[in-house]
């Protein structure tokens, strides 16, 4: 597992390996210079007693240290730069991958959690790539280069100085599991909190109407408290570990000071050698302390790698089959057929659609009516394959929809959902969403067809009016008619309206529909609705109940039958009379 994570990490770095190697090369030079400077200092100490070349040494050391500073800076720019590029790649990949997944994925995986993975988890990986590579390579070079120099000065003192270091690694090992578990806890609590903020911001009106501010404050406080506790726990473990590392590093220095000063007294090593050894030993303290941080960053990064990879490992269920055929939109006539169509939601016992059969001729306006929860929206989702329907059940112009290229199928079907989602941009851009290059004449003509044009021209900036987040500045009916205009603009041969005019009054809805059936000659329109007066104008009605089509026919034919439609119509007449 750990090895596969490392492989995953390396695969993130691979596209930027050139820059990474340049950074590592620069670190090598820095460490070579850094090992050489103490030797110069040693010579300056030993030499200066006899000669007056002290200033020569000082100038030499200053020049070398300046070069070292410049190269160190470059190494950081390159290695941290790779971290930033990996961050960019991952964000791009996550977003592109999420775009491939079907809507049902987002009902299981909350947006707060996904946002957290795309931001703070990716940030942890960036740090892992940048900071950890830098400190790990730096530690390896520091020890690999400095130790031989130290050994060349004095073997016994060197061994004494590094004797406490294995204990540092043992201490780190002891703490590592706790650190990792606690890090995961922090991440999960953070996801929880983000999710709550996200949900509360979208449901603010509900919170106010039900006066739930106090309750929401408490829930937020509790989740925030959990995050605080998890963070403090992590900080405690971390703060316990690092003083231990530092204390052990100090023991190394003490040993060196104690035994080194005796060595000078006994004439075994020179003053210069002693100074050089102290400088070397000090140089090794920082990398070893950094190793502790690196391990933490690695653990944090490991959890994040898993969380990000979990997104990539989810393959879309709905995608082109290997032998998918193409159906250019110009060739689509709009004939829709269902043969024994059955669909059960994952985890559900009862099928939402149970053996449905129908045939809809091109250019017909078909209304789908029925009781609540009958499966009407499910049917609307199945036709453009927003749900994973099995093969051999739904056909467009005689082609099994699961065998068609998804892009072609969706290009052939314009779908207006129940809740009309608008992007926070201008009304015009919202209408032109399916064809951003549409000219203003086309935008206006579709707005006229959906009877929203007169209202848009009265908006402060007409078609350039920003609609606010999710179209919050528009009324429900205005949002629905803007969504309808958006669907009409792409001029698809099939149009599905899923209760998409529910907030529009009956007369306007009927007007729009009769204009649609007159104006969009050749389009097949499936109109799912509870508005029976509008539905009664359809060429054909499908009446649904408990996942089945229980009646089909025209309004007049259905009124003759003693069935669900008749009772729905009577109820509708009664409601109209009362209102
Ligand atoms: N995502 C889902 N997961 C599980 N079950 C679902 C899901 N969506 C809908 N259902 C169930 O499937 C059945 C059909 O729902 P559907 O939304 O298609 O009905 P509908 O006829 O459009 O209802 P309404 O007229 O109230 O909009 C219902 O029993 C519903 O509870």
Query: Considering only CA atoms, which residue is closest to atom 20 of ligand 1?
Result: 373
- What atom of ligand 1 comes closest to residue 379's alpha carbon? 18
Q: How far apart are CA 303 and CA 497, in angstroms?
A: 44
Tell which wins on pLDDT, 520 or 533.
Answer: 533
- What atom of ligand 1 comes closest to residue 104's alpha carbon? 1
Average pLDDT on 143-170 reads 86
Q: Is the pLDDT of residue 287 over 70?
A: yes
Task: Give the pLDDT of residue 521.
Answer: 58
- Which residue, among 538, 567, 577, 534, has the nearest Cα to 555 in the 3D structure? 538
From residue 262, alpha-carbon distances to 41, 143, 162 in Å are 21, 25, 18
Q: How far apart are CA 343 and CA 544, in angstroms?
A: 14
Per-domain residue ranges for the chain? 12-313, 329-419+493-578
Query: Considering only CA atoms, which residue is closest to atom 16 of ligand 1?
Result: 375
Average pLDDT on 124-134 reads 86
Q: Is the pLDDT of residue 498 over 70?
A: yes
User: Which of 352, 356, 529, 535 for a ligand 1 pocket mutation test, highest count of atoms within 8 Å of Cβ?
Assistant: 352
Query: Considering only CA atoms, which residue is closest to atom 9 of ligand 1?
Result: 378
- Kind plus residue range of the DSSP H or E element containing 275: helix 271-313
- How far is ligand 1, taken at its centre, from the CA of residue 264, in Å? 87
- How far is ligand 1, taken at its centre, from the CA of residue 377, in Å? 7
Tell which wins on pLDDT, 258 or 506.
Answer: 258
Q: How far apart are CA 42 and CA 274, in angstroms?
A: 8
- What atom of ligand 1 comes closest to residue 528's alpha carbon? 22
Task: Give the pLDDT of residue 181.
Answer: 82
Q: How far apart are CA 179 and CA 110, in angstroms?
A: 26
- Kind plus residue range of the DSSP H or E element containing 553: strand 548-553
Asked if residue 340 lies in contact with residue 357, where contact means CB atoms within 8 angstroms, the answer is yes
Query: Considering only CA atoms, which residue is closest to atom 12 of ligand 1?
Result: 352
- Which residue, among 57, 60, 122, has the nearest Cα to 87 in the 3D structure? 122
Name the average pLDDT for the chain.
87
Angle 398-401-407 (CA atoms, 0-180°, nearest 5)? 120
User: Residues with Cβ within 6 A of ligand 1?
Assistant: 107, 345, 348, 352, 372-378, 499
From the centroid of its chain, how far is CA 578? 50
- What atom of ligand 1 comes closest to residue 347's alpha carbon? 4
Q: Is the pLDDT of residue 102 over 90?
A: no
Task: Give the pLDDT of residue 470.
Answer: 60
Q: Is the pLDDT of residue 520 over 70?
A: no
Task: For CA atoms 84, 86, 89, 90, give the dihedral sign.
Answer: negative
Does pTM top 0.80 for this prediction?
A: no
User: Which of 345, 347, 353, 542 for a ligand 1 pocket mutation test, highest count of atoms within 8 Å of Cβ?
Assistant: 345
- How far is ligand 1, taken at its centre, from the CA of residue 379, in Å? 10
- How far is ligand 1, taken at its centre, from the CA of residue 378, in Å? 6
Q: How far apart are CA 567 and CA 549, in angstroms?
A: 16
> What's the helix, strand, coil split of the chain in %, to 5?
65, 10, 25
Task: Give the pLDDT of residue 271.
Answer: 83
Q: How far apart are CA 500 and CA 498, in angstroms?
A: 5
From residue 38, alpha-carbon distances to 151, 245, 265, 335, 562 in Å are 14, 24, 21, 84, 101
User: Which of 370, 377, 381, 545 for a ligand 1 pocket mutation test, highest count of atoms within 8 Å of Cβ?
Assistant: 377
- How far is ligand 1, taken at its centre, from the CA of residue 481, in Å? 23
Considering only the top CATH level, what class is 329-419+493-578? alpha beta
Beta bridge partners of 552: 542
User: Which of 373, 381, 388 for a ligand 1 pocket mutation test, highest count of atoms within 8 Å of Cβ?
Assistant: 373
Q: How far apart are CA 301 and CA 308, in angstroms?
A: 10
- How far is ligand 1, taken at its centre, from the CA of residue 376, in Å? 8
Half-sphere exposure (CA, 13 Å, Cβ side) for 313? Answer: 7
Asked if residue 292 lies in contact with residue 172, where contact means CB atoms within 8 angstroms, the answer is yes
Query: Considering only CA atoms, which residue is closest to atom 5 of ligand 1?
Result: 345
- How far is ligand 1, taken at its centre, from the CA of residue 242, in Å? 56
Task: Give the pLDDT of residue 50.
Answer: 63
Angle 37-42-45 (CA atoms, 0-180°, nearest 5)? 125
Quote the tokens at residue 506: 């009956």
From the centroid of its chain, how far is CA 241? 33
- What atom of ligand 1 comes closest to residue 370's alpha carbon? 21
Residue 430 has a CB neighbour count (10 Å cut-off) of 24
Considering only the top CATH level, what class is 12-313? mainly alpha
Q: For residue range 438-491, what is the model confidence (pLDDT) as tens digits?
A: 899 999 999 998 999 999 999 888 999 988 766 567 888 899 999 999 999 988
Q: Is the pLDDT of residue 501 over 80?
A: yes
b (16+ CB within 10 A) / e for 286-300: ebbbbbbbbbbbbbb
Q: Strand 399-400 relative to strand 353-360: parallel, antiparallel, unpaired? A: unpaired
- What atom of ligand 1 comes closest to residue 350's alpha carbon? 29
């Amino acid at each position: 597992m750990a090895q596969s994570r490392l492989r995953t990490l390396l695969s993130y770095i691979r596209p930027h390996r050139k820059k990474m190697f340049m950074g590592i090369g620069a670190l090598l030079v820095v460490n070579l210079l850094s090992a050489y400077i103490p030797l110069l200092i040693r010579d300056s100490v030993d030499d200066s007693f006899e000669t007056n070349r002290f200033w020569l040494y000082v100038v030499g050391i200053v020049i070398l240290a300046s070069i070292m500073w410049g190269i160190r800076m470059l190494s950081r720019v390159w290695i941290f730069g790779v971290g930033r590029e990996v961050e960019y790649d991952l964000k791009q990949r996550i977003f592109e991958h999420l775009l491939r997944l079907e809507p049902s994925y987002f009902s299981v995986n909350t947006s707060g959690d996904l946002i957290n993975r795309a931001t703070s988890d990716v940030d942890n990986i960036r740090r892992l790539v940048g900071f950890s590579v830098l400190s790990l390579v730096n530690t390896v070079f520091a020890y690999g280069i400095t130790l031989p120099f130290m050994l060349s000065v004095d073997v016994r003192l060197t061994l004494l100085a590094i004797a406490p270091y294995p204990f540092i690694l043992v201490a780190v090992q002891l703490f590592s599991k706790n650190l990792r578990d606690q890090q995961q806890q922090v991440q999960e609590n953070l996801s929880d909190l983000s999710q709550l903020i996200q949900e509360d911001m979208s449901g603010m009106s509900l919170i106010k109407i039900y006066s739930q501010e106090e309750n929401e404050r408490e829930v937020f406080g509790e989740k925030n408290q959990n995050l605080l506790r998890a963070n403090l726990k992590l900080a405690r473990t971390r703060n316990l570990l690092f003083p231990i590392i530092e204390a052990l590093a100090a023991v190394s220095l003490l040993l060196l000071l104690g035994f080194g000063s005796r060595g000078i007294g006994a004439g075994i090593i020179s003053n210069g050698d002693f100074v050089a050894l102290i400088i070397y030993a000090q140089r090794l303290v920082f990398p070893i302390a950094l190793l502790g941080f690196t391990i933490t960053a690695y653990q944090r990064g490991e959890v994040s790698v898993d969380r990000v990879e979990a997104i990539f490992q989810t393959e879309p269920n709905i995608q082109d089959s290997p032998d998918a055929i193409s159906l250019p939109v110009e060739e689509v006539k709009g004939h829709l057929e269902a043969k024994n169509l059955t669909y059960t939601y994952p985890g559900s016992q009862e099928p939402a659609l149970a053996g449905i059969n129908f045939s809809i001729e091109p250019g017909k306006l078909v209304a789908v009516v029925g009781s609540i929860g009958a499966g009407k929206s499910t049917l609307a989702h199945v036709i453009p394959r927003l749900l994973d329907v099995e093969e051999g059940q739904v056909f467009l112009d005689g082609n099994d929809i699961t065998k068609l290229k998804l892009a072609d199928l969706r290009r052939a079907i314009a779908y207006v959902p129940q809740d009309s989602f608008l992007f926070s941009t201008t009304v015009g851009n919202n209408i032109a969403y399916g064809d951003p290059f549409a000219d203003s004449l086309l935008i206006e003509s579709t707005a006229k067809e959906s009877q929203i044009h007169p209202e848009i021209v009265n908006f402060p900036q007409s078609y350039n009016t920003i609609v606010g987040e999710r179209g919050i500045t528009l009324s429900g009916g205005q949002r629905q008619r803007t969504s309808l205009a958006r669907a009409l603009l792409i001029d698809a041969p099939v149009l599905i309206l899923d209760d998409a005019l529910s907030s529009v009054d009956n007369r306007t809805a009927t007007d729009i529909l009769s204009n649609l059936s007159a104006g969009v000659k050749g389009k097949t329109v499936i109109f799912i609705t509870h508005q029976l007066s509008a539905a009664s104008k359809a060429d054909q009605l499908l009446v649904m109940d408990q996942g089945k089509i229980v009646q089909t026919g025209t309004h007049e034919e259905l009124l003759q039958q003693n069935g669900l439609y008749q009772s729905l119509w009577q109820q509708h007449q009664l409601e109209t009379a009362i209102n």
